Amino acid sequence: MTLRSLIVDDEPLARKRLRSLLRSEPRVEVVGEAEDGPAALEAIRRLEPDLVWLDVQMPGLDGFGVLDEIGPGAAPAIIFVTAHDRYALRAFDAHAVDYLLKPFDRARLREAIDRAIKLAGSDDLQRRLAALLADITRQRPLRRIVVRSGGRIYFVGVSEVDWLEATGHYVTLHTASGSHLIRETIANLSTRLDAERFVRIERGVIVNADRIQEIHPAFHGDLDVVLTNGTRLRASRNYAARLREWLDR
């Protein structure tokens, strides 16, 4: 069995080294390379590889973001490549999806290929990928949010968001550069945002605590929250209590 493979890594030297190692592996045929997440998505859909060597840490859209966009049900066999992702290692070990910890040698590479051949196309692989993605999502606070608009895809860094507002079945991200509408529920986003940085002040409103400038008492136990850009938001009595607890922490 020969696995048609795609190499995804933002470091040219890392791609070159892996391609060089794979030249002596008759079970693997390298059909393409990608240097970032968006390019990886395009190449996976266009080339339909059997196996992807996927770097975990990449700017813009990391390896887990790529897997999330593809969906585990449609993903090829994936061997993750990582240097020091502490969240990833724990999840990989838990779900036995193979990974290479940089730097790796030829023997470890061949072991990963053996595993990929055994799992490629199996239902077990899809279950493992789904479990891995769910575990990573729980462990890692969201760092970038994918926005689809007018046929294009771009990314908004979570640190750029001043506050989030539920808008029907959508959420509006308010940033210094403007507003961005995403098809997502605020309840789901609240579980993926860093709880140390983001605080829910109303059922449909989450605020980046780094942007809070002042908090003032209002009527009936409510609180007025003033952001650094002058935006004034209201925390109702129930959420005001939670906000006070968050401030005490």
CA gyration radius for the chain? 22
Mean pLDDT across 130-144 = 71
214 has a pLDDT exceeding 60: yes
Q: Can you name the CATH fold of 3-139?
A: Rossmann fold (3.40.50)
Mean pLDDT across 69-74 = 75
99 has a pLDDT exceeding 90: no
What is the per-residue pLDDT for 96? Answer: 46
Of 75 and 148, more confident: 148
92 has a pLDDT exceeding 50: yes
Mean pLDDT across 146-165 = 90
Mean pLDDT across 73-90 = 74
What is the per-residue pLDDT for 46? Answer: 94
Mean pLDDT across 1-27 = 93
Domain ranges of the chain: 3-139, 144-248
Are 3-139 and 144-248 in the same CATH fold? no
Q: Give tens-digit pLDDT for 173-212.
A: 999 999 999 988 888 788 788 888 899 999 899 999 999 9
Strands (E), the chain: 3-8, 28-34, 51-55, 77-82, 99-101, 144-149, 152-157, 161-167, 170-175, 178-182, 198-202, 205-208, 212-217, 223-227, 232-235
98 has a pLDDT exceeding 90: no
Token pair listed for 36: 């970032």
CATH architecture of 144-248: Beta Barrel (2.40)
Average pLDDT in the chain: 85
